[in-house]
Chain A
Amino acid sequence: MSTKVSRSNASSRIAGIAACCIAAVLVAAPWWGSIATERLIGEFMVYLALATLWNLLAGYTGLVSVGQQAFVGIGAYTLISLALLAGWNPIFAVPIAGLVAAIIAIPIGKLVFRLQGAYFAIGTWVIAEAIRLFVAQITMLGGGSGISLPTDIMKMVGETKFWREATIYWLALALGLGALALVYSLLRSKLGLALTAIRDNELASESLGVRIERIKFTVYVLVAGMTGMVGSLIELQKVRMSPDAGFSVNDWTAFVIFIVVIGGIGTIEGPIIGTLLYFVLREFLADLGSIYLMILGTLAIVVMLFAPKGIWGFVKDKFGITLFPTSYHVKLGDD
């Protein structure tokens, strides 16, 4: 009998093949779906990306930020500035928006990292609020009432409506699936090993030489940069932007947190399940308005109290399924 150390198992190999098929079908959506379908999937990808990134931050490094809307807003407004004031093609502004968000995240991180745990959470929120109020003071960017990207700038994205919608859709797809791929490959790397160690036991991993503070800071800046890119995508999808919408704590952080918690924090699959559930619930219950939000809040509380690992954690414990294997298993058998 021999032993074999392996990451993948049957369910993860099936998932890998399925993921490739799904990705191929999604890429072709402009040709088989309506514009409404593209927009729905595009919005799905936005939440998938935000949830995956927040999960990386909170689920693996324990940095519970309630201020990620700061980077969404920064990304959106960077794109507006570059397109409107410098005449850039908005698509080229997307990576720059990420870069700007990451650079701004450095001093913000230096400040909020002085606060511990729960105070860190509210500290990030205060900074986001400060940036929102600051942006509302800039009259060149529309002040508090907001600003739209004019048609001639949107035409730079694509000459016809079909190509415009398709380009924005593919960008959404690239960022949504890209965030997943990034987190997946990150967790399988050396950094991922350190992150998992931090998640499981901070003290023990530090004593074994993991440089916790530096890793946490790196992840914080990386997540901020990706979140900034998602923010610039949101601007392209919405065309219109205001400080209240771009820096909304409900839209870009509260819902995202609920998605991750309900789906299963600290797993790659959790945010996917959570985003799916969020969209299904919204489809059926959004007409209820504020009651829908109360249901969502209650659901998050119930999950946190009675199944803190979320839906995916429950499934994983019960059936031993992993779709995105990041850990190693020892297999016994004859080879």
Chain B
Amino acid sequence: MEQFNAILQGVLVGGLYALFAAGLSLIFGVMRLVNISHGDLIVAAAYLSWSVVQVTGLHPLLCVIIAVPVAAGFGYIVQRGILNRTLGKDILPPLLVTFGLSVIIQNGLLQSFSADSRKLDAGWLETKSFELLPGVAVGLFPVMIFAAAVATIWALQHMFYKTKLGRAFRATSDDSEIAQLMGLDNRKVYAQAMAICFAVVALAGVFFAIRANFDPFMGPGRLIFGFEAVIIGGLGNLWGTLAGGVILGVAQAIGAQLDPGWQVLAGHVAFIIVLALRPRGLFPRTSE
């Protein structure tokens, strides 16, 4: 029963990893950009929500209302101001520029907030749990994170395939030059995609800040978890990303059961196994 409990916790944590990954997946899909500072942005969003709570005294979950639009606006500006200049055939400029951003964000956070770890306190939300089956209890908050992940993936999927904006994203992704001929402004489309990515990042950041302690240097770890979820699930498949997050969470939970030092390592091992056996991921888009 203890094992089952651990695996269940792993599944729920997988929802958080899927939230880390969703923005990464969207951005790669639309503009083939891999943002190395993605994890640092999640941590920055955690600090943003922490600051909002400090200043306004809002409930941590309510500060989503402020953090998400602020982050989205910031994403739009970053894309238009910096990242659009890096896009082209060469993969080096976007990688290096986002790598530079990563170092700047980490040290900027260190400078402003010190190296002390912080946490958002959501009070009773964090401690409340209910019995799913006899002997199997799940926390309310992990279930909320998972539900938020499912809702986010559904919303992104819907946006991508059912809306005008999504059509613009897909057109630009398929052939950016033709899309431009048809009257789309690529720079604007990319900025819109980045705004959505940042909105998801902010959501992930708030949940992350409530769930555990965070410090300025936790970004790269979050990037790697998100990246692993994307690759395990299969490129370009958002529901696959959710599955990838869940597999990663479960692998880490099983690893932690064997030895606490194996938790993160077990996730990496799962990633390596998938890469070795199914290099296109478990649920690649084209096989649908």
Among the interface residues B32, B92, B101, B220, which one has the most CB atoms of the partner chain A within 10 A? B92
- Verify A294–B104 contact, CB threshold 8 A: yes
Residues of A within 8 A of B110 (CB): 290
Contacting pair B96 A111 (CB below 8 A): no
Contact of A304 with B103 at beta-carbon distance under 8 Å, contacts A117-B91, A119-B34, A136-B261 already known: no
**List of B residues within 8 angstroms of A239 by Cβ:** none
A58 and B92: CB pair below 8 A?
yes
B97 interfacial by beta-carbon distance below 8 Å: yes
Chain A residues near B92 (CB-CB < 8 A):
58, 62, 64, 265, 304
The residue of chain B having its C-beta at the shortest distance from the C-beta of A253 within the complex is: B99
Does A111 lie within 8 Å of B276, measured CB to CB?
A: yes
Q: How many residues of B contact A (CB 8 A)?
A: 45
Query: Is the pair A125, B224 in contact by a Cβ cutoff of 8 Å?
Result: yes
Contact of B268 among A126, A258, A261 (CB under 8 A): A126
Residues of chain A with a CB closer than 8 A to B28's CB? 118-119
Tell me, yes or no, whether B265 is within 8 Å of chain A by CB: yes
With beta carbons under 8 angstroms apart, the residue of B97, B101, B220, B268 that contacts A133 is B268
- Is A305 a contact of B85 with CB atoms below 8 Å? yes
Contact in complex: A126, B91 (CB < 8 Å): no
**A238 lies within 8 A of chain B by Cβ:** no
CB contacts (< 8 Å) of B100 on chain A: these are: 258, 297-298, 300-301, 304
The answer, yes or no, to whether B62 is at the interface (CB within 8 Å) is no
Please state if B107 and A291 are interface contacts (CB–CB under 8 Å): yes
User: Is B96 a contact of A304 with CB atoms below 8 Å?
Assistant: yes
Known contacts A126-B228, A305-B86; A64/B91 CB under 8 A: yes
A290 to B111, CA, bound (A): 7
Nearest neighbor of B223 in chain A, beta-carbon distance: A122
CA distance A54 to B116 in the complex (A): 34
CB nearest neighbor in B for A111 = B275
Judging by beta carbons under 8 Å apart, are B268 and A129 in contact? yes
Residues of A near B34 (CB, < 8 A) are: 117-119, 121-122
Mark out the residues of chain A between 123 and 149 whose CB falls within 8 Å of any chain B CB in the assembled complex: 123, 125-127, 129-130, 133-134, 136-137, 144
Chain A, residue nearest B227 (CB): A122
CA distance A113 to B91 in the complex (A): 15
Does A40 touch B at the CB level, under 8 Å?
A: no
Q: Is B99 in contact with A257, judged by CB distance below 8 angstroms?
A: yes
For the complex formed, measure the closest distance between the CB of B203 and the CB atoms of chain A, giving whole angstroms.
22
**Chain A residue nearest to B263 in the complex (CB):** A133
B184 part of interface (Cβ distance < 8 Å): no
Contact indicator B107/A130 (Cβ below 8 Å): no
Question: Does residue B206 face the partner (Cβ distance < 8 Å to A)?
Answer: no
Q: Is B271 in contact with chain A by the CB < 8 A criterion?
A: yes
Query: Closest Cβ of chain A: how far from B31's Cβ, in Å?
Result: 11
In whole angstroms, how far apart are the Cα atoms of A298 and B91 in the complex?
Answer: 19
- 23 interchain pairs, CB-CB under 8 A: A62-B91, A66-B36, A115-B279, A118-B32, A118-B94, A121-B34, A122-B34, A122-B223, A123-B231, A126-B227, A249-B220, A254-B103, A257-B96, A258-B100, A265-B92, A294-B104, A294-B107, A296-B103, A297-B104, A298-B100, A301-B96, A304-B100, A305-B97
Binding site for B on A (CB under 8 A): 58, 62, 64, 66, 111, 114-115, 117-119, 121-123, 125-127, 129-130, 133-134, 136-137, 144, 249-250, 254, 257-258, 261, 265, 290-291, 293-294, 296-298, 300-301, 304-305, 308
What would 20 more interface pairs be, CB under 8 Å, given A117-B34, A290-B108, A301-B100?
Answer: A64-B91, A64-B95, A66-B36, A114-B279, A118-B91, A119-B28, A126-B271, A130-B269, A130-B272, A137-B261, A257-B96, A257-B99, A258-B100, A261-B96, A291-B107, A293-B104, A293-B106, A301-B104, A304-B92, A308-B93
User: Which A-B residue pairs are the 8 nearest by beta carbons?
Assistant: A118-B34, A290-B107, A130-B268, A297-B103, A114-B279, A301-B100, A297-B100, A133-B265
